[in-house]
Amino acid sequence: MNETYTHGLGGQDSRRRIQEASPVKNIQRPPAEILYKAELQKLKKQDKGEKPPGWCLSLKAVRAFILGDEALGIEPKFVGHPS
C-alpha cells in the first residue's frame, strides 16, 4: 500500500494521508530508481567520490549514470554530445 502526503488546503501545514487504490496498475512509467535499480546499485557500490548533501551518488557517478559507462555496463540515458 503506497502512501502520499499532501499539504492541507488553504496553505495549512497539516498533512492528509491519501491511499491509492491500485498504485502499481495505474503508473505510466516506473521511476528511474526502479527501472535502473541494478545500475544505480553498481554505481553506488563503486562510488568513492564526495556526495552533495542529500545525494546517494557523487557527481561523477551521476554523470556515468546519465551518459553511460561501458566498463560498468551502464547504458546511456542521454542522446547527444556531452559538454
Question: Could you tell me which residues come within 8 angstroms of residue 39 by beta carbon, excluding any fewer than 6 positions away?
Answer: 65, 72, 73, 74, 75
pLDDT beyond 50 at 34: yes
Prediction pTM value: 0.64
Q: Quick one: average pLDDT of 27-31?
A: 88
Averaged over 4-11, what is the pLDDT?
40
Q: CA-CA distance, 17 to 8, in Å (whole number)? A: 10
Side-chain-facing half-sphere of 80: CA atoms under 13 Å: 5
Is the pLDDT confidence value at 5 over 50? no
| Residue that is written with C-alpha cell 559507462 in the block | 69
Rounded CA separation 54/60 (Å) = 15
